[in-house]
Amino acid sequence: MIKMSVYYPAEGGSKFDHDYYRTSHMPLIKERLGDACLRYEIDKGLAGREPGSAPAFVAACHVYSPSLETFQRAFAPHRAEIAADVANYTDIAPTVQISEVVGG
């Protein structure tokens, strides 16, 4: 199983609409990906290592998929539509990472 993670650095921009992200953007991705999205998870940054410190990321999402090929094949036809929706909730340029889920 792999996950595609998208991280929004707290220092990277001026706005992030958590409500829109949770209620519109992520459901859009799940709907478009279909079975290629096993599940997804949304993080809202609270703090860094020390209590009360600023988090590195204001938000993140993780989309779980059976394999990288499955994810890429399902995502490609919807890339433009999904990318066009980003301006509705943030101006932060995100960091994208693909990881293998190796244990837990």
Burial zone of 18 (CB within 10 Å; 0-12 exposed, 13-18 middle, 19+ buried) = middle
Binding mask 34-73 for a copy of itself (x = CB under 8 A): -----xxxxxxxxxxx-x---xxx--x-x-----x---x-
| 28 interacts with a copy of itself by CB under 8 A | no
Of 72, 70, 92, nearest to 25 by C-alpha is: 92
13 versus 20: smaller Cβ distance to a copy of itself: 20
C-beta of 100: minimal distance to a copy of itself in Å? 5
Q: Which two tokens stand for residue 12?
A: 């990277």
Identify whether the C-beta of residue 89 lies closer than 8 Å to the C-beta of residue 16: yes
For residues 92, 101, 40, 62, the Cα torsion angle rounded to the nearest 10 degrees is: 0
13 versus 62: smaller Cβ distance to a copy of itself: 62
- The site for a copy of itself (CB under 8 A) is made up of 2-3, 5, 7, 18, 22, 26, 39-49, 51, 55-57, 60, 62, 68, 72, 95-104
